[in-house]
Chains A and B, each alone.
Chain A
């Protein structure tokens, strides 16, 4: 009897604690599920927003592509022109300009030179035959050949006197001129 009396409050206390714990667990579980539900809602919302953004981007892309297609003729002209200009550039860079080479070599000579012959000796090398009727001119020309700075914008790469003949103050020379190719 004594035992029963003494156990009753403990049992009641235990039961009360158990009920409290169950309620707490319930409450935590419901909170957890609530949070989970909220997360679920947020995730779905983000999903729909993302879908919306994607469809907007697609629309924007389609509009831009349609605009670009409307410029199709200009684009075609642009591409064809680029294609041809690229080829033109390659041809112009690759070809050897005989006229320019001869002009470069002749421009290197004093203007008073009487040119009697021009020959191509090799790649960009010309043999020029000419005469100057004045010692001072010949002297000045020889000095010009020694001074590489006078070659002018690098178009004349070298100039070498191969032969020189003088008769009655008439200075005839064979000159080898290397020009840029």
Chain B
């Protein structure tokens, strides 16, 4: 009896500690089960909000950038770029283009050979080796054949930049005084041409015979575009691209009225390009 009384008096002695102890237990439980997980959630909500804010801000910047672009300029650049570098091979049009450029500078196309040979790979613009031959001439070594070229790193949007090169072997005859103008005109012609081999031979009566291999380039369309993966920087043209666009503006378009070059291609009646 006295033992029980002793125990109860001892409990009574520490009864004042029950409240703080209970409060502490409740505090720990509330903090551990409610407050701490919520703080965690708040922290991840804030991170997610920040991420979404940044994303929204970038998308808004992209929208503003696109809206600030002159649609007319963009469409004109697109048309010029598409004409300079057609997406489809159109042999007939190429023949007509070659004939147009040549005849404009008083040259006659003697022979024209398009080699649809084996598809190979090469890097763009590898300057061949010129070799000396007799007379007024120059050479750049290159085998005639159709080639597919794959360019290096892209903007990140383009899966792989593919460039096909179609070499045309052509023999032109015309006045000696006009050959330079013709060569210069070919450098500034649309579609883009690249002389890979040149052989100039003086003929009779101040004439010159030019044997050359001219490469015409094609590039298939880029394919489907994932708008969500486009960054702000992807929308802005680089200095090289702007410079190329500016240069192309000054080039002469030799494709007007042709069927297979450029957008909105009109249907035309094809004539024999060699009927001079």
Contacts and interface: CB of A to CB of B under 8 A. Distances in A.
A95 B167 CA distance: 14
A75 B230 contact: yes
B237 A51 contact: no
13 contacts: A28-B20, A30-B19, A44-B38, A46-B42, A68-B66, A72-B227, A78-B66, A81-B77, A85-B240, A91-B194, A98-B198, A99-B182, A125-B130
B74 A103 contact: no
A57 B52 contact: yes
B180 A71 contact: no
Interface in B154-175: 154-155, 157-158, 161, 163
A16 interface: no
Most chain A CB within 10 A, of B38, B200, B244, is at B244
Interface of B: 12-13, 15-20, 22-24, 26-27, 30-31, 34-35, 38-39, 41-42, 45-46, 48-49, 52-53, 55-56, 59-60, 62-63, 66-67, 69, 71, 74-75, 77-78, 81-82, 84-85, 123-133, 135-140, 151, 154-155, 157-158, 161, 163, 180, 182-187, 192, 194-195, 198, 200, 202, 217, 219, 221-222, 225, 227-228, 230, 234-235, 237-238, 240-245, 247-248
B173 to A, nearest CB: 17
A119 B132 contact: yes
A85 B194 contact: no
A119 B138 contact: yes
Given A54-B52, A88-B84, A90-B124, A22 B75 contact: no
Most B CB within 10 A of own CB, among A43, A72, A106? A43
Given A51-B45, A68-B63, A123-B130, A36 B74 contact: no
A96 B195 contact: yes
B56 A61 contact: yes
Interface of A: 18, 21-22, 24-26, 28-30, 32-33, 36, 39-40, 43-44, 46-47, 50-51, 53-54, 57-58, 60-61, 63-65, 67-69, 71-72, 74-100, 102-103, 106, 117-123, 125-127, 181
A18 B219 CA distance: 94
A24 B20 CA distance: 10
Contacts of B39: 43
B32 to A, nearest CB: 12
Contact of B30 (A36, A64, A88, A103): A36
Contact of A95 (B82, B194, B227): B194
A100 B219 contact: no
Contacts of B228: 65
A139 to B, nearest CB: 27
Contacts of B225: 75-76, 79
B222 A80 contact: yes
A98 B84 contact: no
